Structures are given as structure tokens and as C-alpha cells.
Amino acid sequence: MKIEVWSDFVCPFCYIGKRRLEKALDHFEQSNEVTIEYKSYQLDPNAKHIPGKNFYDTFSELKGMPLDQVKNMNQQVKEQASEIGLDYNFDDMKYSNTFDAHRVAKLATKQNKGKEITERFLHAYFTESELLSDHQTLIRLAEEVGLTPSEVEEVLNTEKFTNRVNEDIDIARQIGVQGVPFFVFNEKYAVSGAQPEEVFHEVLTKVWEEEKQNPVLKTIHTGNSKTSFCTDEDCGGE
């Protein structure tokens, strides 16, 4: 089974959804026959870090939301993350443009380290307050998962993997992705949002049983369960 995951490194629900899927796979008997491929997506292609300006102020201005509302919303997200063992540090978080990080991730994927770089970048942003648009930071983080600094530097100083990142983003538009995380199972079944662990397990089982059906992309209906995801406009739920 192949799972394609569209996500962004600065999307809080992408990290939560990733961890919930992983926990579901821990209890899925055929997990050793599942491969995960991470696809690029940018929530804010125009994102820019402004030194001295904290995350709350930046987000408040971008979304036109009162500062108290922003802090309350992020506190709720922090609590959701904590429930599955993730520690979000919104107080020191640095608003980052992720395009170059996605290009480095493509290099990592080429070297069979896509899973490792995705986890490293997410943890670096949400827990360690790293600036993911800083080239030296990207080189250091990539080296930690086994990439050669000179290769990463070459990517960052050229246009390498730009087309690959843009291709992922274009495909997302074509298949109707309106928010991330967005999961596609065997190029037939789609699940949107950071679904609960039990929902992911249900979907894994369903897809495994029906994998030989017509290869048409279908949305898995998850009943009344709430989900959370990020769009280009906001992070929320339904």
C-alpha cells in the first residue's frame, strides 16, 4: 500500500496527523507493506520571517485576528499535540517560508531519507523554534539525518528540485486539495485532515481490503468524527 501525504513543515495539524497515522500503523498488521511518500505544499508561499517579531503578532496581522484569539487558538492546538507526545513551542516559533526546505526534502527523498528529513524539519520548527527559511539551519538539520552538507548547499544555491516542489503543489490543486494534511491511499482513496488514530486504522483496513477496486480517487467518509487541518487561509477544523 502506498500513502502519499501532502503537508507543509509549518502546518501544526500536519505534524499531528503524521503522528496519528504512525500510531495507527503501529497496530496495523500489514504495516511492513506500507510505504509513505511526502509531497510538498505551501500554506503561505509569501511567508517571510521578520526578526524581532514573534509568531503571534505575525499571525494576528496576516489573518486579521485579535491577538488574544490567536493565542487561544494556538493553545488549543498545543494541547492536541501534547496528547500524542508532541511539544509545540508557539512562544518562540519563527514564521518561516518553507519552499527551500521542501527542495531539500526532495534531495533527502532521492537518497531514501524523506521520512527522516520530514520528521526532523517538523520537530525543528514546532519544538526547537528553528527558522526553516535559513539556509545554514537547513544544511545543519539535513546533515543530522545523513545528507552531505555540500549537496544541500548546492541545492540551496541553485534551482534544483524547484520543479519537483511546484509539481507537487500543482497536483494538489488538480486533485482538489483545499487543506493539509491530505492523505491519498493507493491513488484511489483520500483522507483530509489530522484524523484520530482509530479513523486512520479504519481507513488502512478498508483500503487494504478494497485495493483491487476501480482506481478512482474516493474520499473516505469518517462519520461524525471531527478533523483538523490547515488551509491557505487558516488552521482549524470541521
Q: What is the pLDDT of residues 146-173, one digit of tens each?
A: 999 999 999 999 999 999 999 999 999 9
Average pLDDT, the chain: 93
Largest Cα separation within the chain, whole Å, is 54
How does residue 236 score in pLDDT terms, banded at 50, 70 and 90? low
β-strand partners of 6: 39, 182
Residue type for position 48: K
Q: Using the structure block, give the residue that is written with the C-alpha cell 525543528.
A: 124
Query: What is the rounded distance in angstroms from the CA atom of residue 21 to the CA atom of residue 35?
Result: 12
Q: Are strands 189-192 and 218-219 parallel, antiparallel or unpaired?
A: parallel
Percentage of residues in the chain having pLDDT higher than 70 = 92
Q: 147-182: b or e for each residue (b if 16 or more CB lie within 10 Å)?
A: beeebbbebbeeeebeebbeebbebbeeeebebbbb
**pLDDT at site 224:** 55
Classify residue 85 as exposed, middle or buried by CB count within 10 Å of its CB (0-12, 13-18, 19+): exposed
Q: Where are the domains of the chain?
A: 2-237
Give CA 130 to chain center in angstroms: 16
- With contact defined as beta carbons under 8 Å apart, do 210 and 201 qualify? no
**Helices 12-26 and 197-210, interaxial angle, to 10°?**
60
DSSP string, 117-163: HHHHHHHHHHTS---TT-HHHHHHHHHHTT--HHHHHHHHTS-TTHH
Tens of pLDDT, residue by residue over 115-145, are 999 999 999 999 999 999 999 999 999 999 9
The three grid cell numbers given for residue 9, joined into one nine-digit string = 513543515
The structure's pTM equals 0.89
Tens of pLDDT, residue by residue over 14-60, are 999 999 999 999 999 999 999 999 999 999 999 999 999 999 999 99
Homologous superfamily of 2-237: Glutaredoxin (3.40.30.10)
Asked if the model's pLDDT at residue 96 lies above 80, the reply is yes
